């Protein structure tokens, strides 16, 4: 069996990176559609959120920003062939991702049990908060699985071109998740009254 050269491997991985960008674009449109739906519903009927966002959403925003920073450091370590450092920053990113997930669940708990705002609220604008957060959490689960796959590869004798590819795929997706959450959080803050 013929062994693939480094250039052949790069050519083989290029379509996968392109597919990731297509997925990023469609996911971005997905969240844009939800925010557009919120605008149409709340603007057309005068139904604002009339709720102050739980502080847990702010804390989760800080967590996801830090996780993007640790993932950047993991990518930098991978490029510098510092694999132990890469693994450390990847695990830190993963832990921050889990913390983000837990903080989002807590924010929804606060909305439901402390603020009495439900998914089936008569003011459907409030239901959008749950939809935004839940759809984002589904994407977070995918991002955590992608990070776990990248972490696992660092414990194997993975060729550097594949290691960097996995880092690139994880980075594209995870940074996108951070940007989308910041967009959703700012959107909710601007529409909370």
Nearest C-alpha neighbor of 143 from the set 111, 120, 176? 176
Superfamily classification of domain 56-190: Cytochrome c oxidase, subunit III, four-helix bundle (1.20.120.80)
Tens digits of residue pLDDT in 138-181: 999 999 999 999 999 999 888 889 999 999 999 999 999 999 99
Torsion on CA atoms 117, 120, 121, 124, rounded to nearest 10:
120
> Which is nearest to 189 in space by CA: 136, 139, 129?
129
Which token pair is 89? 């920053």
> How many CA atoms lie less than 13 Å away from 143 in the CB half-sphere?
30
Classified as helix, coil or strand, 122 is coil
The dihedral formed by the CA atoms of 129, 131, 134 and 139, expressed in degrees to the nearest 10: -120
Q: CA 130 to CA 65: how far, in whole Å?
A: 21
Q: How far apart are CA 185 and CA 58, in angstroms?
A: 8
Condensed to tens digits (0 to 9), the pLDDT of residues 74-84 reads 999 999 999 99
Please give the average per-residue pLDDT across 4-17, as a whole number. 63
Counting residues of the chain whose pLDDT is more than 90, the rounded percentage is 59
DSSP string, 67-82: HHHHHHHHHHHHHTT-
Sign of CA dihedral 138, 141, 143, 146: negative
Q: Given pLDDT bands bounded at 50, 70 and 90, which one contains residue 4?
A: very low
Q: Residue 19 pLDDT more than 90? A: no
Q: pLDDT of 91-106, one tens digit each?
A: 999 999 999 999 999 9
């Amino acid at each position: 069996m013929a062994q693939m050269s480094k250039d052949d491997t790069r050519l083989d991985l290029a379509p996968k990176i392109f597919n990731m960008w297509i997925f990023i674009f469609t996911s971005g449109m997905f969240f844009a559609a939800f925010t557009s739906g919120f605008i149409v519903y709340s603007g057309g009927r005068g139904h604002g959120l009339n709720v102050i966002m739980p502080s847990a959403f702010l804390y989760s925003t800080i967590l996801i920003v830090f996780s993007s920073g640790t993932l950047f450091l993991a990518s930098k370590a991978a490029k510098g062939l510092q694999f132990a450092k890469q693994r450390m920053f990847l695990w830190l990113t993963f832990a921050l991702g889990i913390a983000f997930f837990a903080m989002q669940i807590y924010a929804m708990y606060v909305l439901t049990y402390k603020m009495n705002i439900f998914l089936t609220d008569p003011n459907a604008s409030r239901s959008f908060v749950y939809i935004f957060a839940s759809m984002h959490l589904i994407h977070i689960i995918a991002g955590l699985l992608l990070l776990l796959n990248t972490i696992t590869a660092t414990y194997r004798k993975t060729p550097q071109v594949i290691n960097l590819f996995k880092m690139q795929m994880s980075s594209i997706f995870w940074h996108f998740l951070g940007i989308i959450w910041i967009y959703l959080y700012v959107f909710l803050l601007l529409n909370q009254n």
